[in-house]
Amino acid sequence: MQDFINNLPKLAKDKHKENKTFFAKLKKKPPKQLDYLMQELHETEFERTDCLDCANCCKTTGPLFTTKDIERIAKFFKMKQQQFIDTYLHLDDENDYVLQSVPCTFLGADNYCSIYDVRPKACSEFPHTDRKKFQQISNLTLKNVAICPAAFNIVEAMKQRIK
C-alpha cells in the first residue's frame, strides 16, 4: 500500500489529461444511473481498501472545519470554541478554518483518529466518491486522485464502466 501511496502523485499526473477529458464529457452528459454506479464502485473499492493502512488524507491534507464541526469537537474536548480554534486551527486564504499543520494533530501513530466519532464532516465524507451527482465535483476529484488511492482506483474503474 505504501508504495502505491508514494507513487500516487506521479500516477495521478500521468492520468491527469485523460481524467480531465473524461470528467469534461461526464459533466456534459452524465449517465442516468451515475449515482447507483458510484455507490457500487465506492463500496467495492472500500471493501478492499482499509483506510487504517493508509491515512494519507489525514497525513497530507486537512479538512475544513465548519461552525458545526467546531461546536461539536470543542464540546468533546470540553473546551470553549475560541480556545479550540486558537489551539488547533487557523483561517486560510479563503477564510475557512483549517488545521494549523499536517499530519492532522488528531491522527495517531496507528492511523486511528482520536476524534473519530466527532470528526469533521469533510473527513467522514472524504473522498466523496459515493456522493450524488458526482460529476459536479470533478475538479476536486482530479486533485483527490493524487492523495487517495481509493479515489484513484474508483476513477480508473469509472473509465472502464462509462464509455
Which residues bind to ligand SF4, rule: CB under 6 A? 49, 51, 54-58, 62-63, 104, 106-107, 113, 115, 119-120, 123, 126-127, 147-150
Hey, what amino acid is at 50? D
Distance between CA atoms of 74 and 70, rounded to whole angstroms? 6
Strand order in the sheet with 64-65: 64-65, 97-99, 89-91
Looking at the Cβ atoms of 62 and 89, the one nearer to ligand SF4 is 62
Nearest C-alpha neighbor of 122 from the set 159, 80, 160, 70: 70
Q: Distance between CA atoms of 124 and 117, rounded to whole angstroms?
A: 9
Q: How far is the CB of 115 from ligand SF4 (least distance, A)?
A: 5
Least distance from C-beta 32 to ligand SF4, angstroms? 28
The minimum distance between CB 163 and ligand SF4, in angstroms, equals 26
Least distance (Å) between residue 129 CB and ligand SF4 = 9
- Which residue lies nearer to ligand SF4 by CB, 56 or 141? 56
